[in-house]
Structure 1
Amino acid sequence: MPRPKPVPTAPPLAPAAALRALVRIHREYGPGLAARKGALLARLAGARLATAREVLRLHECLAFLRAYPDDRAVLARVEAMMAAFAERADLRRHARALENSGLAGTVTRFRFFEPTARWLARAWPDRLRVDWDTWGAGAADLDHVLPALALWAETPALDEWDLGTRAWIERLKGPNETDGTFLVRRFAGAFGPLAELREKVWDRIEPPLLLEPGPGGPSRTRAFHPRAPRALQRGALRRGRPDLAAALAQPPRAVRALSPVEGERVIALAREAMVARSRDLDAFSHGDPRDVRMVDVGDGYAFAAIGVKPEKRLLLEAVYAFLTLKNGVPIGYVLNSALCHSAEIAYNVFETYRGAEAGVVYGRVLATVRHLFGCDHFTIYPYQLGQDNAEAIASGAWWFYQKLGFRPRDPGAIALMERELARMRRNPRHRSARATLVALADHNLFFASGPPRDDVMGVLPFAQVGGAVSAMLARRFGADRERGARECEAEALGLLGLASLRGWSAGERLAFERWAPLVTLLPGIGGWSAAERAAAADVIRAKGGRRESDFVWRFDEHARLRAAVTALAQGDAGA
């Protein structure tokens, strides 16, 4: 019998074709798609891609699928490819073109804030360098600071030898020390405990730094928290807009307080997520490992809610930063300021994950803020909407929030919005001009789950409180602010019925010292009951305690203290 002819098999897809196919389907979910993704991933695992753009596109597909995996098989293959990504031959070939992409195995360049630069120098001292090529002529700004970084015995040479900034740094640093790490360490040593001054001077000269690749360290490739909630993506992505009122009614599934050790790891993950994207955020830089909570909001989403160390807290509102996690992968962050049952929220989704479930996640942000801080009013400040923020203008951020139910309070902004809505009704294809978006972005947007109030974030001018304190200190003490601090603290102790601060922690004592001038100005405090004064002392103590959200709850529950601060903010000190 003649042998049957073998059935011809299709040749394997070329790497570029396999990548295009993966890009087309990596955000789609349904029958057969997991197997198809698995086959494409297998083809691409050992393939060599021809361009830096192709390497980056593969990485973005992998990063997305790690956060939104179809099944365990897809997840396992993605994790294996991500673990080996820095060793890919095509990445090494195109590493220079991929600088600042956040990929493992590539260089990161940025003008980091001083606390982040100090953290990088401590964690990866051999990989941190000054980016002289970027700094250029701006490096001359460092000349004025160099004498402060040296010992007095070195000043004769500094005064006479015109070596140039770069050569001087090279001469001053140790033989086994990078120039970047030397610069950071000398700032820390020269300014000592004067942290605020050190950070201001650093920010003034803005040294650009370069973090070289190596084992571990910040990258979008390796970013992951193993103890975050998990869930497989069983259905299509929910790209619609949520009902915010319904979302607010759904509390988080669970809130877990982390140990200081795990809290430190989560803060490091948040900082690495920002560094890998050439960003910086003070609330992460000054995160307090004692005040980190993992908030499970379902479907594999979680917010790592990070409080700020007592010495970096604001006088009034409490600032928290959330690292948004999906299956343990950082996909964005939230900056939240809360007081007076209200919150000002900045919401950011990292570029890789935009267009997925941003609306769904935002609804859960508001529900989490309500749960942690007791808020019923929410506001978006102008920068988030596009004021001096080209990215927000380009993304249509103002209309994203408007369609969720946020509205302006400013009469001019309301009128402009109504005109735009009328144009859209006449022509559904109408899109607001850039100039219109810029004008709309000049004013806060608001959303309320109850009757509108004026004593809320975004309306209350808290700057007036600081202004009232300054006026009092200027009138009573002039330049002798140190005496003012001492006398105000003594007066505040008396007003609140405290004999001393015995038993208070260092953070709690600092909070009292900072609040003392304000306490002396609180309208009507002389008529408060002993219980109300004691409760006010507890509010201030909570400001410096382990968890700043406790301060928010206690302040908001203290009717007379809240009314007094509101009166100062509104310029009605006689209330």
Structure 2
Amino acid sequence: MKADRPITLAIYIGYTLFKNGFPVAYGGSWVFGRSALFGLNIFEAFRGGESGYVMCQLLRVYRHAFSIDHFEVEPYQYGRDNADGIKSGAFWFYYRYGFRPVDKKLYALAEKEQSLIRSTKGYRSSEEVLLQFTEGNIALQGGKKPAKLTTLTGKVSAMIRKEFKGVRLLAVEVCTKRFFEKTGSKLRYTDEQKIVLTDFALLSNALKIEDETQYEIMHQLIKAKPIDPYQYNQLIIRMFP
């Protein structure tokens, strides 16, 4: 394991979708608690009428399997460094199904453009406007806003800079020792679980966690992540409701 490896609390759940034995789409999501960073690629022969249906069914599967309330899509999917996404107006495909810009200024721009589309016959958003939309993520919110993974990893990075002068290897050593002091030195982990242990040792130190119940949940998370993504994510939801 590399000492400078980024913290990876999310799990990646990929898919390939078939229709009558033929591949229709592929992609995946980075899942963390009740949120998911969603990616979709539909093969050209199947784009068009059923694209929205395909996406909605995939979102339903993720919601049912992982209790997702918040989906985000990154800008590449609708045009950043992706000329086809701009040409096809992919942003408006996602917009039609409830996705909205996370950034407030881009949200306002989308509302303005939508108003023009409705009121002006034949109006189409310019390439310049569509490129503006790619300056931030879009999201589909179905419940209360969940814990944001980037906020947690940001706290870990800040802790390493402040307490360990940016030396991650030292942070891992010290935080892992503290983690065992809190949970009991008799715990044993496999090599795969030790990678997860590192992440939660750093996180527990960054968040100043003292509660014994939280440490028990983290112990279960370390055990579950390499073998059971469903259990792992339900435990994440317990820890970050």
TM-score by length of 1: 0.39
Q: How much has 1:412 moved relative to structure 2?
A: 1.4
From the superposition, tell whether residues 443 and 485 of structure 1 become closer, same or farther in structure 2 (CA, over 3 Å).
closer
Q: How much has 1:429 moved relative to structure 2?
A: 1.3
Judge conservation of contact 2:156–2:206 (CA < 8 Å) in 1: no
Judge conservation of contact 2:72–2:137 (CA < 8 Å) in 1: yes
Query: Match for residue 376 of structure 1?
Result: 69
Secondary structure of 1:428 counterpart: coil
Judge conservation of contact 1:469–1:518 (CA < 8 Å) in 2: no
Q: Which moved more, 1:510-519 or 1:374-383?
A: 510-519
**Match 1:445 to one of 129, 133, 138:** 138
Q: How many residues align structurally?
A: 241
Query: Match for residue 12 of structure 2?
Result: 319
Residue identity opposite 1:335 in structure 2: G
Query: Match for residue 492 of structure 1?
Result: 179
Query: Match for residue 340 of structure 1?
Result: 33
**Match 1:509 to one of 190, 194, 215:** 194
Query: Match for residue 455 of structure 1?
Result: 147
Judge conservation of contact 2:34–2:146 (CA < 8 Å) in 1: no
| Separation (CA, whole Å) in 1 of partners of 2:6 and 2:102 | 29
Q: How much has 1:345 moved relative to structure 2?
A: 0.5
Q: Output aligned runs, 1:447-486, within 5 Å.
A: 447-450=140-143, 452-453=144-145, 455-456=147-148, 460-472=150-162, 474-475=164-165, 481-486=168-173
Q: Output aligned runs, 1:410-425, within 5 Å.
A: 410-425=103-118
Alignment pair present for 1:389 and 2:74: no
From the superposition, tell whether residues 520 and 386 of structure 1 become closer, same or farther in structure 2 (CA, over 3 Å).
same
Query: Match for residue 59 of structure 2?
Result: 366
Query: Match for residue 518 of structure 1?
Result: 203
| Separation (CA, whole Å) in 1 of partners of 2:81 and 2:152 | 22
Judge conservation of contact 2:34–2:68 (CA < 8 Å) in 1: yes
Provide, for residues 440-489 of structure 1, a one-character-per-residue CA deviation record: whole Å limited to 9, x for no partner: 22122221223x426346xx5454134224314533xx65x545433321
| Separation (CA, whole Å) in 2 of partners of 1:344 and 1:362 | 14
Q: Output aligned runs, 1:524-535, within 5 Å.
A: 525-526=209-210, 528=211, 530-535=212-217
Q: Output aligned runs, 1:125-164, within 5 Å.
A: none
Alignment pair present for 1:351 and 2:68: no
Secondary structure of 1:324 counterpart: strand
Judge conservation of contact 2:32–2:233 (CA < 8 Å) in 1: yes
Structure 2, unpaired ranges of 5+: none
Secondary structure of 2:81 counterpart: coil
| Separation (CA, whole Å) in 2 of partners of 1:506 and 1:483 | 19
Q: Output aligned runs, 1:258-337, within 5 Å.
A: 315-337=8-30
Provide, for residues 417-460 of structure 1, a one-character-per-residue CA deviation record: whole Å limited to 9, x for no partner: 1221222222231111100100122122221223x426346xx5
Secondary structure of 2:28 counterpart: strand
Q: How much has 1:505 moved relative to structure 2?
A: 2.6
**Match 2:228 to one of 526, 547, 550:** 547
Query: Match for residue 556 of structure 1?
Result: 237
Residue identity opposite 2:229 in structure 1: E
| Separation (CA, whole Å) in 1 of partners of 2:30 and 2:111 | 29
| Separation (CA, whole Å) in 1 of partners of 2:230 and 2:18 | 21
Identity %: 27
Secondary structure of 1:443 counterpart: coil
Judge conservation of contact 1:377–1:456 (CA < 8 Å) in 2: no
Secondary structure of 2:96 counterpart: helix
From the superposition, tell whether residues 531 and 443 of structure 1 become closer, same or farther in structure 2 (CA, over 3 Å).
closer
TM-score by length of 2: 0.87
RMSD over aligned Cα, in angstroms?
A: 2.7
From the superposition, tell whether residues 372 and 469 of structure 1 become closer, same or farther in structure 2 (CA, over 3 Å).
farther
From the superposition, tell whether residues 361 and 551 of structure 1 become closer, same or farther in structure 2 (CA, over 3 Å).
same
Provide, for residues 82-101 of structure 1, a one-character-per-residue CA deviation record: whole Å limited to 9, x for no partner: xxxxxxxxxxxxxxxxxxxx
| Separation (CA, whole Å) in 1 of partners of 2:7 and 2:23 | 26
Query: Match for residue 538 of structure 1?
Result: 220
Judge conservation of contact 1:318–1:339 (CA < 8 Å) in 2: yes
